Amino acid sequence: MAAAYLRLARPKQWIKNVLVFAAPGAAGVLTEAAPLIRTSISFLAFGLAASGTYAWNDALDAESDRNHPTKRIRPVASGAISPLAAKVFGVACFIGASAVGFAINRNLGTAIVAYIVLTLLYSMKLKHEPVLDLVAVASGFVIRTVGGGAAGEVRISTWFLIVAGAGSLFIVTGKRTAEVKLLGTKATSHRKALEGYSDSFLLYVRSVSSSVAILGYCLWAFQFSEQAGNSTWFELSIVPFVVGMLRYSLLLEHGEGGAPEDLVLADPVLLGVGVSWVAVFAAAVYLL
């Protein structure tokens, strides 16, 4: 039974919460003990909140998950955990996450509560509405980013939020694209919102969001270079960022992207580009 609850919590998905380190990392405060500890705790808090969301989502989607080739083995869909037990587990995770967040500071606690409310609305209603489901999931990523900034007590720039929002929308749309291709005619029985998406529309959203993310990142990098008084490293970081976006777009065209966290780790080129971007940006922030 413990193993079933562990699968219900999906700790593997917690990797998405590394976004909390983005704002403090860009601000260059992660070398200081206090911001690093607070941000690390926020990572765990958002992980708990996410696990609560997964539990509620699985409880509400048990029937549709049984029509999915891989999701049908999830604990609730397979019958290992009852929907009621999953909801109780989720509430416990929500309470724990909120308590940890407010223990750090009010802004982090507020961000976690906002994340919980948004994800519950998504599970109950928004995921069934085309476009709104994309916006809701992307907003969840942005809230994580804002929460990380609150934990590190750093100011988040407008360009940073634009890049985070557009990049999140790009990834979420790629996930929906992969689901449509994978499930085919069964897509709507798994996720009602998929009925409203055509290939051309999803391609349009990916094109717009990726373009905004790239433009926003370029402007953000130039802004940072002016503040630092040395443009070389910040401007160089644009190259791996753009290459990474293009590589991810190519993988989406091949029908991948259903599990973004797995795709990044499975594709050696994308992983290498990502590591290169982290190295260049870290050099810009911490070595200058």
Q: How far apart are CA 135 and CA 209, in angstroms?
A: 11
Sign of CA dihedral 130, 93, 144, 21: negative
For residue 3, is it within any domain? no
Whether residues 286 and 236 share a domain: the answer is yes
Helices vs. strands in the chain: H and E counts, helices first: 15, 0
For residue 8, is it within any domain? no
Whether residues 189 and 234 share a domain: the answer is yes
Quote the domain boundaries for residue 181: 157-288
Whether residues 144 and 217 share a domain: the answer is no
Sign of CA dihedral 49, 52, 56, 57: positive
Whether residues 123 and 191 share a domain: the answer is no
Whether residues 134 and 186 share a domain: the answer is no
For residue 2, is it within any domain? no
Whether residues 269 and 165 share a domain: the answer is yes
For residue 241, is it within any domain? yes
pTM: 0.84
pLDDT in tens, 203-216: 999 999 999 999 99
User: Looking at 102, 127, 155, which one is the last position of a domain?
Assistant: 155
For residue 4, is it within any domain? no
Whether residues 262 and 273 share a domain: the answer is yes
In sequence order, what E strands does 140-231 have?
A: none
User: Looking at 104, 133, 155, which one is the last position of a domain?
Assistant: 155
Does residue 156 sit in helix, strand or coil? coil
pLDDT in tens, 93-146: 999 999 999 999 999 999 999 999 999 998 888 888 888 999 999 999 999 999
The rounded mean pLDDT for the chain is: 84
- Long-range contacts of range 222-228, CB-CB < 8 Å, 24 or more positions apart? 223/157, 223/159, 224/26, 224/284, 228/284, 228/288
For residue 74, give the CATH number of its domain. Answer: 1.10.357.140
Which helix (H) or strand (E) segment holds residue 92: the answer is helix 83-104
Whether residues 283 and 199 share a domain: the answer is yes
Whether residues 109 and 178 share a domain: the answer is no
Number of domains observed in the structure of the chain: 2
Does residue 237 sit in helix, strand or coil? coil
User: Looking at 155, 179, 210, which one is the last position of a domain?
Assistant: 155
Whether residues 191 and 122 share a domain: the answer is no
Residues 6+ apart with CB under 8 A from 237: 221, 277, 280, 281, 284
pLDDT of residue 68: 65
Whether residues 148 and 188 share a domain: the answer is no
Would you place residue 69 in the very low, low, confident or very high pLDDT band (cuts 50, 70, 90)?
low
∠ CA(164), CA(258), CA(25), 5° rounding?
Answer: 30
Tokens for 42?
């926020």
